[in-house]
């Protein structure tokens, strides 16, 4: 054994090892890609009361004196000038304003945008320039609009599966606003330009999730305030995606908070489901294994090249 170890490994053997580590890394990346919320750090909670509380533990709140927020507020000048019966009516008007910023051309829905971010000022500019929309982009614009109007608001995500191929996973992103008169969070869907009602009362994302999980979606209805814009909300759509709930732990999108796995100023998410928990440990293991795989693959490729150079 020792004489074998003293001999320099053959370059072709080193290449094979490098390829094996690369394949390991690629396999881990593939498995990670099948997970929901790939780019975000997620925590699990089994406490339903947390999602009704005005502030989640550890959440980071937007600075209301942010220059970026003040700049965005200028876009809402006409909306905020109106007088509203209550804060819910104002939130609905802001939601409808956001939906109207995108052209109604059907082609705007056919090509998904491959570059996503969370900067409301950039998103609004892109939307007006004809960048194709999506529920995620609509929701971060609405989040920014509500924050700039003085509301407490947060982004919320739904998905039907936590671990499945993308073709099988259905997901949707919406926003919740805190309505003072009701002392509760209210779901606002900017893509389908609607509120969701439970037994005739405006509902939170958690209430919608609970009814769908427990098979009581017949109690859901929609209030669009005379909006006829497409796509229209349907029970079938919500039934297909609202089985897992993710609530953003930061709304400081004007302060540079972004959805990312590493680095400062991350938007993390709290997950709740009456069915399963988010595979946090599996995701960490796969991320670690993929990083190690790429690193050792690079090491062995360099070793193989050095071996060839010595010949």
State pLDDT tens for residues 19-49.
999 999 999 999 999 999 999 999 999 999 9
Q: What is the pLDDT of residue 4?
A: 43
Among the four given CATH numbers 1.10.10, 2.60.40, 2.50.20, 3.10.620, the one describing domain 39-105+113-278:
3.10.620
Q: What is the pLDDT of residue 134?
A: 85
Average pLDDT value over all residues in the chain = 91
Residue whose structure tokens are 């995500």: 157
pLDDT band at 270 (very low <50, low <70, confident <90, very high): very high
DSSP string, 233-256: P-HHHHHHHTTEEEEESB--GGGT
Phi/psi of residue 187, each to 5°? -75, 130
How far is residue 134 from each of residues 50, 131, 178, measured CA to CA in Å?
Answer: 28, 10, 23
Could you tell me if 267 and 59 are in contact, meaning their C-beta atoms sit under 8 angstroms apart? Answer: no
Q: How far is CA 104 from the centre of its chain?
A: 24
Asked if the model's pLDDT at residue 273 lies above 80, the reply is yes
pLDDT band at 216 (very low <50, low <70, confident <90, very high): very high
Q: For the whole prediction, is pTM greater than 0.85?
A: yes
Nearest to 261 by CA among 283, 292, 281: 283
Beta strands in 145-278 (DSSP E): 153-159, 171-179, 184-189, 194-198, 201-202, 220-223, 244-248, 269-272
pLDDT in tens, 289-301: 999 999 999 999 9
pLDDT in tens, 45-61: 999 999 999 999 999 99
**Mean pLDDT of the region 215-240:** 94
Q: Report the C-alpha gap between 221 and 232 in whole angstroms.
A: 12
Quickly list H helices, the chain: 2-6, 11-33, 67-73, 77-81, 87-100, 120-128, 135-148, 205-213, 235-241, 280-310
Q: Report the C-alpha gap between 311 and 308 in whole angstroms.
A: 5
pLDDT band at 110 (very low <50, low <70, confident <90, very high): low
């Amino acid at each position: 054994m020792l004489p074998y170890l003293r001999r320099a490994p053959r370059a072709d053997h080193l290449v094979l090892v490098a390829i094996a580590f690369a394949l390991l890394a690629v396999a881990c990346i593939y498995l990670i890609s099948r997970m929901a919320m790939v780019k975000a750090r997620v925590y699990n909670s089994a406490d339903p009361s947390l999602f009704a509380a005005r502030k989640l533990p550890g959440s980071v709140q937007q600075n209301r004196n942010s220059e970026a927020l003040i700049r965005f507020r200028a876009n809402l000048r006409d909306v905020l000038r109106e007088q509203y019966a209550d804060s819910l009516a104002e939130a609905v008007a802001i939601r409808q304003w956001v939906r109207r910023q995108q052209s109604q051309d059907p082609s705007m829905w056919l090509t998904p945008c491959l570059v996503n971010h969370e900067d409301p000022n950039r998103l609004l500019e892109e939307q007006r320039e004809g960048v194709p929309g999506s529920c995620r982009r609509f929701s971060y614009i609405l989040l920014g609009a509500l924050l700039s109007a003085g509301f407490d608001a947060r982004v919320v995500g739904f998905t039907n599966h936590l671990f499945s191929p993308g073709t099988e996973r259905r997901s949707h992103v919406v926003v919740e606003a805190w309505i003072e008169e009701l002392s509760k969070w209210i779901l606002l869907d900017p893509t389908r330009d609607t509120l969701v009602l439970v037994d005739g009362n405006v509902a939170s994302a958690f209430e919608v999730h609970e009814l769908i999980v427990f098979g009581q979606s017949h109690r859901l209805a929609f209030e669009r305030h005379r909006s006829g814009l497409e796509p229209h909300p349907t029970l079938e759509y919500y039934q297909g995606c609202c089985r897992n709930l993710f609530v953003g732990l930061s709304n400081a999108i004007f302060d540079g908070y972004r959805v990312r796995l590493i680095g400062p100023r991350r938007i993390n998410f709290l997950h709740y489901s009456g069915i399963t928990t988010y595979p946090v440990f599996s995701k960490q293991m796969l991320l670690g294994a993929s990083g190690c795989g790429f690193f050792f693959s690079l090491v062995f490729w360099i070793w193989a090249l050095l071996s060839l150079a010595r010949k």
